[in-house]
Chains A and B, each alone.
Chain A
Amino acid sequence: MGDIFANLGLGLSVAVSPGNLVFLIIGVSVGMVVGLFPGFGPAAGIAILIPMTFGLDPTTAIIMLSGIYYGAMYGGTITSILINTPGESATVASTLDGYPLARNGRAGPALVMQAVASFFGGTVGVILICAFTPALAGFAASFGPSEYFLIVVLGLLLLTTMMGDNLLKGVISALFGFAIAMVGVDAVSGAQRFTFGSPELIGGIYFVPVAIGLFGIGELLHCIHIGQHRQEVQKLSFSFMSKDFWPTIKDYTESKFTFIRGSVIGFIAGVLPGSGATIGSILAYSIEKKVAKDPEKFGQGEMRGLVAPETANNAASAGAMVPLISLGIPGSGATAVLLGALLMWGLQPGPMLIVNKPDFVWGLIASMYLGNVMLVIISIVAIPLFVKFLDVPYRLVVPVIVILCVIGTFALHSSMIETWLLAITGVVGFGMKKFGYSPAATVLALVLGAMAENTFLQSLIIGDGSLSIFISRPISLFLSCIIAGIIIMAVVLRARRGRIRRKAVADALTQVNG
């Protein structure tokens, strides 16, 4: 324990130097803002700011860029709650109950609660990093291709069973995502697939335009379709004095275990290589719904349904720093960009980084702690400002969001193909929404598709074509058992529910006939 305090002391002494503090504030504020804009996530924000850090000290630069990364987790939720548009993929799960809360007139408590939950998750995550970094690095190092593949399967399985109202439509949505992920260079043979000779498609279809199209444009089209723009604007005003602004005691007491569960699940998901905040938040939400005595309340504006993904995505963004720093394995687009920045500064991630550059590693960790304190203050103080978004008539909001979506997409790679892709997936997203398919499953399958395919093929090559590799290695065996358990449980529950329903129908018929 003494070591941890000595390390944190060293870290704090680095982090509170005036220069580092200023750039930390810039980083977390930029993070909140990029999180706010749908489709303009931390990956793009970090990438755009990298060239501006060239004159800085490496530690200062990384402190600022990391601030963008976890700051976006706070900002992204604000749009998830207020306009049902996740600012980035890790806040998709926060729309499920966050948006209904706002529709129920509880936008204020939801925003305060998300800030508190984010702070709690982020802080627990940072504390866990300090305590477990060396051990977790060793654990992460034992993940080979077969374990990666099983983790991806587990993530997608949990996603489709969670979206669960219609399993078939969830699976179709995920398969659609896999189909899009097929475009580009085949990882094993090197052959080009579905690129139609276009050099822009060699690298595959980047998930950001698809996500902006499905979530941003698709959602707008659907809202226009159901006539939301004709509705009267509901004047929402917030005051710190008002009792309605703050979450009730009941909100806290009901979700006290949710805070802890969400943080721990999120952190574990963040540490696991290649999964990260998106899977962590979805996992936390689905587990919360599973353990709840009243799962039917979820999706209707349940505070626990917001707290779970919010603690989880922030704890995961802290957890993701473990494989990033100790192994150089990014778990998301944003951490991949951070890895690029680390390498650019000659900070080679690896087990030796913490030994060779303790001032950098612990300075970064301490800065994350300070950053979370700043973010919770910024987000609560600025809530009345953010809530003003809801006062604007919807017919004025629509064109602004469309412009942001188009600019955000074009700014990525200055690519017209991707801008067209945005338009097409926007229409597809509208159809998915209207007919009850799951855009979230599509986007996640697209994000994880290449990795799933690649690790599966790698595993088969390593196992000389035999599937036994998935049960012959201890961790793989463990993961395979969990996956099998979930599938069996889902099938049994479904069958039983079907029986109950049939019995209920039969009873009802008997009553009618009797």
Chain B
Amino acid sequence: MTTTIRSYLYGSVLACSLGFPLAQVQADSYPAEELNYTVAFGPGGGNDLMSRTVVDILKTHELFNGQNIRVENRDGGSGAIGFNYVAQQRGNPYHATSTSGNFLGTPIVSNTGWTYRDFTPIGLLARDAMVLAVRSDSGYETLQAFVDAAAEKNMKIGGTGAAGPERVVAGLFAKAADIDFTYVPSQDEGGLVTSLTSSSIDAIVANPSEVIGQVSAGNFRLLGYSERERSTVFPDVPTFTEQGYDFEFSLPRGVVMPADIPVEVRDWWVETLKQVVDTPEWQEYLTTKGLSGNTIWGDEFGHYLEKTDADFRGVLTEIGVIK
């Protein structure tokens, strides 16, 4: 059962009727019009919260030169519909949207008509990396102990979704550690956490924010973190890389705009978003959501998307989800 909550007809109806003329942009006068910030998911979800945090900061710190910013939720098809809408705005510098896992995942598993290449990457503001968690009473004190035990028995590793980022991290880890495992997909966060609390499985791959409550309660232990650098929010969790398992994987929580926008506009946004991530509001957002704040900008963000997309496709091909 999907529990995505989507609503909102008013804004979207209005926007459709306003056929947007392709404005010629002078870099020095940017921004001269209202910005349409599309959220490709329903209100209340992770992508929605990040988008609204960015927009709130742009407004309260008056970073968008006094022009209005309109946030719209256009959800459906795991992001397919909203991202498609923004991709259609090719060349229009007054559209932006936030990326999350489905920005890469949805086009891989279904025929959406767009990919990350149909957007101009602005900046990666935060990363959603994954942790490997075990029960505190499991006896696996370190990642090494877990890997050693995995030589003896087939580990059952759980994650949310059959072909999501959790599956990719589990696959990349098993490859790097040269162990066999069985992946047990849960349909939601709650089911994932209890599949471990109830001792049904051996370990789970999860977003840090999903398990941090269990960790502080002393029930779970975190063995590895899937970014190359340690998380800015959970600096105590060692990365897989520093423990000798050479891989990294995280989901992009960044801002992208339609393809073919003037390069001056892109640079304007890179500079502006650099100011956004410097605010205390942004730091607070990272802390409450358990996201890591290692940023990258412009073309470098584009390369990151390319690499992450390739990893994603690689693992999904290996397990037979895509051909």
Known: A204-B1, A451-B187. A199 touches B162 (CB 8 A): no
A458 lies within 8 A of B184 (CB): yes
Contact with B along A447-461 (1 / 0, CB 8 A): 111110011001001
Interface residues in A326-344 by Cβ distance below 8 A to B read 327-330, 333, 336-337, 339-341, 343-344
B9 lies within 8 A of A411 (CB): yes
| Count of A-B contacts judged by CB separation below 8 Å | 185
B1 lies within 8 A of A207 (CB): yes
Instruction: Compute how far the CA of A145 lies from the CA of B200 in the bound complex, rounded to whole angstroms.
Output: 7
Instruction: Compute how far the CA of A105 lies from the CA of B212 in the bound complex, rounded to whole angstroms.
Output: 56
Among A43-51, A285-293, A308-316, the stretch that binds chain B is A43-51
B7 lies within 8 A of A412 (CB): yes
Instruction: Compute how far the CA of A202 lies from the CA of B107 in the bound complex, rounded to whole angstroms.
Output: 12
- Name the residue in A145, A188, A351 with the highest tally of chain B Cβ atoms < 10 Å from its Cβ: A145
B5 lies within 8 A of A191 (CB): no
Among B39-47, B117-125, B229-237, the stretch that binds chain A is B39-47
- In the assembled complex, which residues on chain A have CB atoms less than 8 Å from the CB atom of B214? 350-351
9 closest A-B pairs (Cβ-Cβ)? A350-B213, A199-B77, A144-B200, A346-B288, A144-B198, A190-B163, A329-B190, A190-B162, A336-B3
B191 lies within 8 A of A145 (CB): yes
A352 lies within 8 A of B216 (CB): yes
Interface residues in A66-124 by Cβ distance below 8 A to B read none
Check: B49 CB closer than 8 A to any chain A CB: yes
A327 lies within 8 A of B77 (CB): no
Check: A125 CB closer than 8 A to any chain B CB: no
- In the assembled complex, which residues on chain A have CB atoms less than 8 Å from the CB atom of B201? 144, 462
B104 CB to nearest A CB, Å:
14
B198 lies within 8 A of A451 (CB): no
A337 lies within 8 A of B5 (CB): yes
Instruction: Compute how far the CA of A321 lies from the CA of B59 in the bound complex, rounded to whole angstroms.
Output: 36
24 residue pairs bridging A and B, Cβ less than 8 Å apart: A47-B42, A48-B7, A48-B8, A50-B5, A142-B198, A143-B198, A144-B198, A144-B199, A146-B200, A187-B185, A189-B320, A202-B77, A204-B1, A273-B194, A328-B189, A336-B3, A346-B289, A350-B214, A447-B1, A454-B185, A454-B187, A458-B186, A461-B156, A461-B182
A190 lies within 8 A of B4 (CB): no
A378 CB to nearest B CB, Å:
25
Instruction: Compute how far the CA of A273 lies from the CA of B6 in the bound complex, rounded to whole angstroms.
Output: 24
The one of B7, B156, B183, B216 in contact with A44, judged by C-beta atoms closer than 8 angstroms, is B7
Q: Which residues of B contact A (CB under 8 A)?
A: 1-9, 12-13, 42-46, 48-49, 52, 75-78, 80-81, 109-112, 156, 161-163, 182-187, 189-191, 193-195, 197-201, 209-210, 212-214, 216-217, 219, 288-289, 316, 320-321
Instruction: Compute how far the CA of A412 lies from the CA of B2 in the bound complex, rounded to whole angstroms.
Output: 13
A351 lies within 8 A of B187 (CB): no
Other CB < 8 Å A-B pairs besides A203-B77, A447-B1, 11 of them?
Answer: A47-B43, A50-B5, A50-B43, A141-B198, A146-B200, A187-B162, A197-B111, A323-B190, A327-B197, A329-B193, A353-B213
B88 CB to nearest A CB, Å:
14
Check: A234 CB closer than 8 A to any chain B CB: no
- In the assembled complex, which residues on chain A have CB atoms less than 8 Å from the CB atom of B185? 187-188, 454, 458
